[in-house]
A and B are shown apart, each in its own frame.
Chain A
């Protein structure tokens, strides 16, 4: 096995609020190998976006990284200076955001925005950088790049803007791209185009992807591995094919049973009762226990570890075997 490109260990991020300290990310660890794709899935407030942003130091001012290490390509970025981190951003690591309209510079032509990294960071000449921008625009499927390069973001459609953002993300030849819900604001057919573009680029350019989304199906389509987050922790991880077919954590199972599946028409959807906990005072023991159908007395106290289940899978549940039995009785994914 190659050395991981991204190595996150025990990452902790806190927000200082008037009503107390909110532990948004509470001991998250994962590896991403070169060329691999990892999906981080969870609901709003699960900490998935905060964890992603913490990797590159793009946290809001009220947030603080209180523990853990992040290594990118062997360099410990958590202790690195801001200057060193800036050096990594854009070249080794880049990011694609949810809302291209707010992430792009509204008063700069998109061609110039794409050429910026080659020009400023890679030391290319103006002419080279411009050529590179056109090449990237072609690569991400923007028709008529010479004309489009002169456009401002507001003159483009949502899908085209997201393509521009992808071109910018690719412009520094990164080895890792962090995607924060890149298709949530887009329509179904445009989402489909962008997801398929990202898959194709990942294959062709051999970049690693970390893909944050609330949509299980989007993660299933873009990622080989998945980590499911709940209340600031990873509660289950493994290969997408395993985790979604045979979830071993009650929360993953609950999510799978609560979404209408396009392929399986279920009589009723089973909602997860209750609501996610307040992260300023999470429940003791397992954080999911107040909403869990498999809860036992041993779930109520102590820190529940992420239990290795073999085959690269792990679940933060003491009763994962019960979950497995339940899934066997009533499969979550329709076969056929």
Chain B
């Protein structure tokens, strides 16, 4: 067992929606959007954890809460044993860095790469002023860009190159934990590989710990040591990568895996992997949040009783389903829910 680097306990991030005028006049309480709704998660030093889920499941919000871009409503984020709040001093902020999905909007268009990088280096006093230039070159070299890139503006780069600049910016602060939120989904297919390979290489070279947030199962399978599956603000299953892909226990994970389009057409099932639309995170289903779409949901257990993450005694593989580790009820087609 390695050393725990990051630990989330009962993390909640809720957003209060203002609601319409009518709602406020009638004195109704504001609606609450439960983006992250009770997440326990640990990441060990040196590992890569893949976090998958569909849009709106809260995976990006979770990443933002870890890095300190939003305030948890409840629960804690501990890093190396110390509790972190969203407001952090510089020296702590530095240790967790983030790479965002869209390199077209996450870089300042009016700053050259040199300005972007040296500003960080100086503000955090990471290197003496005289060595800033050398460090900038070193960082670019690390992400596979030549020194000529230093004087370029983001618009002069292709998508893949921009993402490299964004990675260099994150690495400038010498972080221990890198959170990559959909780092390749805005990139063209042939370029995705270079960025994924780069992340892999950097992880080995710098001993980075990584949280890779993605919706693409193939990407997560390729990069992650462990995978956590998120659904409507909760982790529903977590396991070592191979185990999760070959022996998924949660019906949602199973459906998600069946939904992935495959290069060999014969491997795709005829029936849809998961039926219906995800419910709104403002109005969560009772009991197990997956029960309205679940092919093995049993009444009244699943609609009243919220299952906890449970697993085998060594607990490397956990799933939040009443039937994860017992004999399953026969599958039925859930009625397509109304949204």
B44 proximal to A (CB < 8 A): no
A259 proximal to B (CB < 8 A): yes
Bitwise, B198-221 to A at CB < 8 A (1) or not (0) is: 001000000000000001111101
Within 8 A of B (CB), among A138-195: 141, 143-144, 157, 159-160, 187-193, 195
* Shortest beta-carbon contacts, A-B, top 4: A192-B259, A269-B193, A271-B193, A260-B222
Pair A157/B277 contact, Cβ less than 8 Å = yes
Please, how many angstroms separate the alpha-carbon atoms of A275 and B271 in the complex? 38
Within 8 A of A (CB), among B221-238: 221-222
Given A143-B336, A188-B217, A189-B256, the answer on whether A258 and B262 have CB atoms closer than 8 Å is: no
Which of B258, B264, B270 lies at the interface centre, i.e. has the most chain A CB atoms within 10 A of its CB? B264
Tell me, rounded to whole Å, the shortest Cβ–Cβ distance linking A327 to chain B. Answer: 14
Among the stretches B107-115, B183-191, B320-328, the one at the interface with A is B183-191
Please, how many angstroms separate the alpha-carbon atoms of A132 and B263 in the complex? 36
Please, how many angstroms separate the alpha-carbon atoms of A103 and B219 in the complex? 30
Residues on A lying within 8 angstroms of B by beta carbon are 43-44, 141, 143-144, 157, 159-160, 187-193, 195-196, 214-218, 220-221, 240-241, 244, 254-263, 265-266, 268-272, 275, 333
Within 8 A of A (CB), among B21-71: 54-55
Please, how many angstroms separate the alpha-carbon atoms of A268 and B275 in the complex? 34
Which of A141, A195, A262, A275 lies at the interface centre, i.e. has the most chain B CB atoms within 10 A of its CB? A262
19 additional A-B pairs beyond A189-B274, A260-B222, A333-B264, beta carbons within 8 Å, are: A188-B216, A188-B260, A188-B273, A191-B259, A192-B272, A196-B270, A218-B261, A220-B264, A240-B265, A254-B190, A258-B193, A260-B196, A260-B219, A263-B262, A263-B264, A268-B200, A269-B193, A270-B193, A272-B190
Pair B215/A188 contact, Cβ less than 8 Å = yes
Please, how many angstroms separate the alpha-carbon atoms of A270 and B336 in the complex? 42
Size category, B interface? 35 or more
Tell me, rounded to whole Å, the shortest Cβ–Cβ distance linking B210 to chain A. Answer: 16
Given A244-B263, A262-B262, the answer on whether A44 and B188 have CB atoms closer than 8 Å is: yes
Which of A189, A214, A272 lies at the interface centre, i.e. has the most chain B CB atoms within 10 A of its CB? A189
Pair B196/A269 contact, Cβ less than 8 Å = yes
Chain A hits for B196, CB < 8 A: 260, 269
Please, how many angstroms separate the alpha-carbon atoms of A143 and B292 in the complex? 15
Chain A hits for B215, CB < 8 A: 187-188
Tell me, rounded to whole Å, the shortest Cβ–Cβ distance linking A69 to chain B. Answer: 31
Please, how many angstroms separate the alpha-carbon atoms of A308 and B271 in the complex? 37
Pair A160/B274 contact, Cβ less than 8 Å = no
Please, how many angstroms separate the alpha-carbon atoms of A57 and B310 in the complex? 57
Chain B hits for A254, CB < 8 A: 190
Pair B192/A259 contact, Cβ less than 8 Å = yes
Chain A hits for B197, CB < 8 A: 268-269, 271
Chain A hits for B256, CB < 8 A: 188-189
Closest to B267 in A: A263
Pair A262/B188 contact, Cβ less than 8 Å = no
Contact residue among A192, A214, A265 (Cβ-Cβ distance under 8 Å from B258): A192
Pair A143/B193 contact, Cβ less than 8 Å = no
Pair A192/B274 contact, Cβ less than 8 Å = yes
Pair B262/A188 contact, Cβ less than 8 Å = no
Task: Name 7 interchain pairs, CB-CB below 8 A, sorted by A.
Answer: A188-B54, A188-B260, A189-B255, A189-B278, A192-B260, A260-B218, A263-B267
B308 proximal to A (CB < 8 A): no
Please, how many angstroms separate the alpha-carbon atoms of A161 and B36 in the complex? 27
Which of B54, B272, B275 lies at the interface centre, i.e. has the most chain A CB atoms within 10 A of its CB? B272
Tell me, rounded to whole Å, the shortest Cβ–Cβ distance linking A192 to chain B. Answer: 3
Pair A259/B55 contact, Cβ less than 8 Å = no
B85 proximal to A (CB < 8 A): no
